[in-house]
Amino acid sequence: MTQSPLNPGDSPLVREALSSVVSRETAPSAPVAASIGYTSGMSEGDWPRPPRRRIITIANQKGGVGKTTTAVNLAAGLSMHGQRVLVVDLDPQGNASTALSVEHRGDIPSVYQVLVEDLPLKEIVSPVPDMPNLYCAPATIGLAGAEIELVSLVAREARLKRALEAYDANELDYILIDCPPSLGLLTVNAMVAAEEVMIPIQCEYYALEGVSQLLQNVELVRVHLNQVLRVSTILLTMYDGRTRLASQVADEVRSHFGDTVLNTVIPRSVRVSEAPSYGQSVLTYDAGSSGAMAYMDAARELAFRGATVAGS
């Protein structure tokens, strides 16, 4: 855990990008930080609110790349800095709902009823416990059936978009949509409803597998269904500094996607994987951990980028 994430052969770009991870690995824990007056992202005030509400779909048809973890922790980080955030859980597994401690037993109304039965979104949105400014629209397992049931419905690709439009979202700054690991109708609904796509890419073997297909789908949706859609953000996740592979993947992703990739890289951190079982984000579970600090930095980058690029 204490080993440097940098390898001697890393390119200058990767070294620069990852230097913040190095400093984070050696950052003091939260109680120690407080006692010595160490300043991390947690102690800042509010971040600038976007000129217009941002709707960001977090998609990658590969499972286990960090979509849900990213949705939950970015949402938590943004909300802790004065942003009003709604997480829409679009995965029948309901992992985002679990991590945010929002009820999603099979028998409660969820995104399923919103998409298939036209239930107003406001009927299912719940405040996240102990997190002012943060809300969640939960998913239940019944949503698995929606992929098929949507096929025969009118405007089947635009059901979520319509639900969001009908929702009084003036109160919100961000809507983050957590997608299932597929490119089916649920993910298409998420892409039609959003202006931005964020792609988490795991710094592992086959990281880029499927990404070109994902980009093709984004392009198809843009051409046929939603002209304003663009891939605005790529986030490197689960970076393991002990492996050369991770830095090679990071390098490759940056050379492909340039500025779209956030400078912040999310390290692999046990705390990140533990937090959901306590119904918490890692930011509340262990604010001083490397994973929490990285997600806070990523949220800050997202907020400050949005302050300049939104509407462009």
Q: Which stretch binds ligand ADP (CB under 6 A): 218-226, 241-249, 251-259, 269-277?
A: 269-277
Single out the residue of 295, 261, 289 nearest to residue 274, CA to CA: 289
Comparing CB distances to ligand ADP, the nearer of 50 and 181 is 181
Are 92 and 106 spatial neighbours (Cβ–Cβ below 8 Å)? no
DSSP calls for 4-48? -S--TT--HHHHHHHHHHHHHHTSPPHHHHHHHT---GGG--PPP
Near ligand ADP by CB under 6 A: residue from 83, 269, 281, 289 = 269
CA 247/CA 11 separation, integer angstroms: 9
Length of the chain: 312
Near ligand ADP by CB under 6 A: residue from 17, 90, 183, 238 = 238
In the structure encoding, which two tokens stand for residue 111, read together? 């995104």
Helix (H) or strand (E) holding 271: helix 270-274
Give the shortest CB-7-to-ligand ADP separation in angstroms. 19
The listed partner (Mg ion, ligand ADP, none) that binds 268, CB under 5 to 8 Å by sort, is: ligand ADP
Give the shortest CB-179-to-Mg ion separation in angstroms. 8
The listed partner (ligand ADP, Mg ion, none) that binds 17, CB under 5 to 8 Å by sort, is: none
Q: Which stretch binds ligand ADP (CB under 6 A): 12-20, 79-87, 161-169, 263-271?
A: 263-271
Does 255 sit near ligand ADP (CB under 6 A)? no
Does 272 sit near ligand ADP (CB under 6 A)? yes
Near ligand ADP by CB under 6 A: residue from 79, 226, 233, 237 = 237
108-137 as b/e: b if 16+ CB within 10 A = bebbbbbbbeebebeebbbebeebebbbbb
Q: Which stretch binds Mg ion (CB under 5 A): 90-98, 119-127, 242-250, 295-303?
A: 90-98
Q: How far apart are the first and last CA of the chain?
A: 41
Comparing CB distances to Mg ion, the nearer of 5 and 138 is 138
CA 87/CA 72 separation, integer angstroms: 7
Does 181 sit near ligand ADP (CB under 6 A)? yes
Single out the residue of 70, 299, 76, 51 nearest to residue 173, CA to CA: 51
In the structure encoding, which two tokens stand for residue 27, read together? 């950052």
> Residues 68-87: x/- map of binding to ligand ADP (CB under 6 A)?
xx------------------
Does 67 sit near Mg ion (CB under 5 A)? yes
Single out the residue of 157, 156, 127, 124 nearest to residue 140, CA to CA: 124
The listed partner (Mg ion, ligand ADP, none) that binds 63, CB under 5 to 8 Å by sort, is: ligand ADP
Does 187 sit near ligand ADP (CB under 6 A)? no
Max Cα distance, the chain (Å): 61
Does 190 sit near ligand ADP (CB under 6 A)? no
Comparing CB distances to ligand ADP, the nearer of 64 and 106 is 64
Contact residues: ligand ADP, CB under 6 A: 63-69, 95, 181, 237-238, 266, 268-269, 272-273, 276, 291
Contact residues: Mg ion, CB under 5 A: 67-68, 91, 95
